[in-house]
Chains A and B, each alone.
Chain A
């Protein structure tokens, strides 16, 4: 099953469950509280996911390692390499 189909399946199952609870489709006579909680769930979950995404990406950008040492080491090694290669006969 492709990822797209997995998502559609998941969303459909949740959507049906939400519809059944919110609109009393199967005449389940659930307590009124269930309906009140279920009704705003889709929007609520979207907002929660949105906040989670922003927080996660923000955190990851803020903690993205800056490899200063690696850059310095590379610069030094480039010089070493150039000198050694010249000695070995490379014409740059």
Chain B
């Protein structure tokens, strides 16, 4: 176990990191992701807060979040629930509104994104002064666990088409594990109109348009959900539609 001393290391550089966790039916995963975030932020010494944006989950996710608040403190676990399932863009806006950090980290709450990469994101951002740092599954030692050949083919194929059409200057556009400067995220969410995968793509494309700098960090993506939710024809079609829209409008 890590010694007490390393758990309370503090860096006094004034930067604070707000982690946005939009949740829907994540009663099982939420405590685990929070535990991991607390572990890695604690070890690294960076100042942080975790903002849980629950969209009225029927499985009691909010109650679990409240328990976590009691365990870790209200300054570390901030609850910003909403009454019903609304879009990701509005979840970010809602989450940013009372965020105390000057940096925002967005990630999935289902354990596919591992908090151990966050100190690497932070280091990369400080190295290059980047406006945003994006986790990539496609470069360096980034990768995926739990995908069969079909899923990998679709992923690489879609990414290839995206690179050819949009030449975005980032290797992983549909990824949603990113670190943004707060004002950059605010500006981008305002400008983006797409939904789903394409929303994350649009954020990167608009960031480039506005002249923001983008850094990349290889990440491992552990997909435990794929078996239950196969990537079907509908999603592929809507992805292509969204891609062509971006192609024609940006």
Contact = CB atoms under 8 A, between A and B. Distances in A.
B11 to A, nearest CB: 24
Given A4-B247, A60-B156, A71 B142 contact: no
B167 interface: yes
B145 A67 contact: yes
Interface residues of A, number: 27
A90 B66 CA distance: 10
Contacts of B36: 77, 81
A64 B35 contact: no
B228 to A, nearest CB: 16
5 contacts: A3-B246, A60-B160, A61-B156, A64-B144, A81-B35
Contacts of B141: 65
A81 B1 CA distance: 12
Contact of B160 (A3, A57, A74, A89): A57
A88 B39 CA distance: 14
The 9 closest A-B pairs by CB, nearest first: A65-B143, A70-B220, A67-B220, A81-B35, A71-B145, A67-B145, A60-B156, A4-B248, A67-B143
A66 interface: yes
B31 A92 contact: yes
A13 interface: no
A3 B247 CA distance: 6
Interface in B126-154: 138, 141-147, 149, 152-153
Interface string B24-46: 00001001100110000000000
Contacts, number: 87
Given A3-B167, A57-B156, A67-B144, A88 B247 contact: no
A2 B71 contact: no
Given A78-B32, A81-B32, A90-B67, A60 B143 contact: no
A64 B166 contact: no
Contacts of B144: 64-67
A85 B35 contact: yes
B247 A74 contact: no
Interface string A1-30: 011100000000000000000000000000
Given A65-B141, A81-B36, A70 B222 contact: yes
